[in-house]
Structure 1
Amino acid sequence: MSLRKTVVGSFPRLPFGIDQAIRAVIDLQLQAGMDIVSDGEQRADMITYFKEIPGLGRCAKGLAVDTKIS
């Protein structure tokens, strides 16, 4: 039995349109031999998910605590 290879995390934002950026990220993963590929989070970043946590919000530098985190 062999293990399937994939990636975890975001690729840096690419300076292309979203469709072209996703295609480039997928091509890089396939060239590297990944079995399971992702869009490299080109549509959103990790902060997009974190800002949904009560007490966290977005600021100019990224993520900030804006109220008590429960």
Structure 2
Amino acid sequence: MYIVKVKGIAKIPDYVQLRDEKFTLLAYFRVDRPDKSLEKLGLGEQQDQIMKLIETLPFGKIEKLDI
């Protein structure tokens, strides 16, 4: 799974994308509201770990998410 942090413009907030190995979009959520999207993917228990990664992740860089 891969993670990308996307910078919002003007009134559009920052978002995070979670993509699979073929880069198919699995989840797309606001940085400040990850709850439901992560739960739907079965990653609710790893939410704290993922959010720490998101805080340090630069905008526009694709990172491999090993969970």
User: Shorter-chain-normalised TM-score: which range?
Assistant: under 0.3
The structure whose Rg is larger is: 1
Structure in which a larger fraction of residues adopt strand? 2
- TM-score normalized with structure 1 length: 0.26
Higher relative contact order (CA 8 A, sep 6+): 2
- TM-score normalized with structure 2 length: 0.27
